[in-house]
Amino acid sequence: MKGENIKFLIQTDDKKGLISHITSFFFNLDLNILSCQQFTNTIHQQYFMRICLDAADLTFSREELETKFSALAKQLNLNWSVHYSEDITNVAIMVSKPTHCLYDLLERHREGYLKCNIPLVISNHLDLKYIADQYDIPYVHLPISKATKPQQETQVVELLQKHNIELIVLARYMQVLSADFIDKYPQQIINIHHAFLPAFQGANPYLKAYERGVKMIGATAHYATKDLDEGPIIEQDVERVSHESTPQNLKRIGADIEAIVLARAVNSHLENRVIVTGNRTIVFPETSA
């Protein structure tokens, strides 16, 4: 297990002694702490921690570690999850016709910047098959209409289950997923919205931005929920524009922002740096561990 690590994500009501209790627990198990990130929300009195351990020090089973930590969690009333870096996440990418986000994700994956498996790309159009072919990734074409939406989503779910998909990335998939579909994958669907939410929700945000005369445009990556474009935000970015920018200029500039923001959000999720709390997220900064 050399070079591997174990990450615990923890949230609870803030109280004295949390850091001492948690770090002492791992010390007493002879586990080396590689990094410890924390945040206290003083408005709501909530505490969040991401603690990374050297897996090389684990001399007993995962099950035993989790059982021991469960006892501490019960004592301290912790909500927690644990993640092992040797477990590589299976990711499905869903697309329609825009190319930029798909190209960016697949290239980052090939270069090793996104540590995951991508067993398939799913689309309601055939237009982007040539891109998946360039990266030797299977491309599944599942057309959709209003009448066939339930059947198409059933086919998608069957594919996701077959490939043990743990994260779904909507890389400009221009279809609204049903509530039933989203319920099956809570906090496992990342969408990129081509606007700086909560402004300009829904379709044609660049035209809306042009008509409003904005002086900056942006993109937002968020977890998909039943409420369109209102899920917990993971990542955002913006770029300044001017009165001279046309809707087409805004769309071109926005495409670059979308690709960067989506990649950052996916990477944060893959590296287990995100804790969802209500409709907000705590996203810990990237570290070497």
| SS3 track for 182-246 | HHHCCCCEEEEECCCCCCCCCCCHHHHHHHHCCCEEEEEEEECCCCCCCCCEEEEEEEECCCCCC
* CA atoms of 123 and 139, how far apart (whole Å): 8
Q: Are 105 and 93 in contact (CB under 8 A)?
A: yes
* CA atoms of 169 and 108, how far apart (whole Å): 14
Point out the catalytic residue in the list 13, 227, 229, 237: 229
| Contact residues for 112 (Cβ-Cβ < 8 A; gap 6+) | none
**Burial tier of 86 (Cβ tally within 10 Å: 0-12, 13-18, 19+):** exposed
One-letter amino acid of 141? H
For the chain, domains (ranges, CATH) are 5-84 (3.30.70.260), 90-283 (3.40.50.170)
* CA atoms of 260 and 237, how far apart (whole Å): 8
Q: What is the pLDDT along the chain (289 residues), one digit of tens a residue?
A: 347 999 999 999 999 999 999 999 999 999 999 999 999 999 999 999 999 999 999 999 999 999 999 999 999 999 999 999 999 999 999 999 999 999 999 999 999 999 999 999 999 999 999 999 999 999 999 999 999 999 999 999 999 999 999 999 999 999 999 999 999 999 999 999 876 655 666 667 777 777 888 888 889 999 999 988 889 999 999 999 888 888 888 888 989 999 999 999 999 999 999 999 999 999 999 987 7
How high is the pLDDT of residue 1?
Answer: 39
Is 229 one of the catalytic residues? yes
101 token code pair: 């986000």
How high is the pLDDT of residue 199?
Answer: 65
Whole-model pTM? 0.93
What does DSSP assign to residue 57? G
How many CA atoms, within 13 angstroms, populate the side-chain half-sphere of residue 108? 19
Q: Is 180 helix (H, G, I), strand (E, B) or coil?
A: helix
* CA atoms of 246 and 252, how far apart (whole Å): 10
One-letter amino acid of 122? I
How far the first Cα of the chain sits from its last, in Å, is 14
How high is the pLDDT of residue 246?
Answer: 87
